[in-house]
Amino acid sequence: MKPCVFIHTNHKQIVGAIVAEHALRRYSRHNDQFDVRIIQLKDYAFFAAREGQLYLRDGMRRPWLNDDLQSFTPLRFMPPRLID
């Protein structure tokens, strides 16, 4: 099994994710020795279930919005479950 780079994104940042994957492939001397997977917020239904729920951020309660620019941030916890 090759190591894997996970790129987390949502619809607002998909172009950046694609560019990041391209850069990893193009500029790595060993790009055949790792995989790259783009994981998107839209592929995980549990985020939709959280829409509008309050959470604590910077000491304030704020509503969870899937359309937020950085809504994909919690995806950083997914790779251990996604590794084959």
Range 72-79 average pLDDT: 91
Say whether pLDDT at 84 is over 80. Answer: no
Q: At 20, give phi and psi (nearest 5°).
A: -60, -45
Three-state SS at 68: coil
> At which residue do the structure tokens 């509008």 appear?
52
Tell me the HSE value of 25 on the side-chain side, using a 13 A CA sphere: 10
What's the pTM value of the predicted model, to 2 decimals? 0.84
Q: What is the DSSP string of 10-66?
A: -TTSHHHHHHHHHHHHHH-TTGGGSEEEEEEGGG-HHHHHTTT-EEEETTEEEE--T
Domain ranges of the chain: 4-76
pLDDT of residue 1: 78
**Residue 39 corresponds to which tokens in the numbers above?**
């994981």
